[in-house]
Structure 1
Amino acid sequence: MHFEVVHVSRGDIRLKSRDKLVRVLGEALISSTPTEPSYVIYLNSLNNWDMPPDVALTETEKQEIIRAIRKYFQDRDSVVEFE
């Protein structure tokens, strides 16, 4: 399954995979140096798909979402933290 980050806001990141959508809660940060995180992801919010609703994410899907988010920030020379 391939995930693509489609929207990043101050409080969440939305990703899609084909016709499925997922929302991950987080928080944009103001970093004072390039090595400090510019975003923190709340892993406890990574539970269900938004579309289709109320369908649980598998552990494999969660790991792929994390990889997609990490790559998104790496491509922009930014640091993301997961907690």
Structure 2
Amino acid sequence: MSTPRTTASEADQLAVASFVLGLLGLLLFNLVLGPLAVALAVLALHRGTARPLRARLGLLLGLADLAVLAAAVAAGHGSLFHLG
């Protein structure tokens, strides 16, 4: 059985992971890292992290990752890669 301290510690780790993945997603692999950052941030906030600001930043960065992806797809006329 997990203690409340372990659950809070896990929620803090989720908040930090969300923030880091959101930052990395701005540079590369935003298709994968953006939704992952959003999911981890929501879990951290739901579990009552002691770092709510970091979780919210991870959420915002994850959403920014998805916005960058949408802009890239729109600028590329619906394609992510141009071969040839």
Q: What TM-score range do you get, normalising by the shorter chain?
A: 0.3 to 0.5
Q: Which has the higher contact order (CA 8 A, sep 6+)?
A: 2
Greater Cα radius of gyration, structure 1 or 2: 2
TM-score (norm 2): 0.35
TM-score (norm 1): 0.35
By percentage of residues, which structure has more strand? Answer: 1
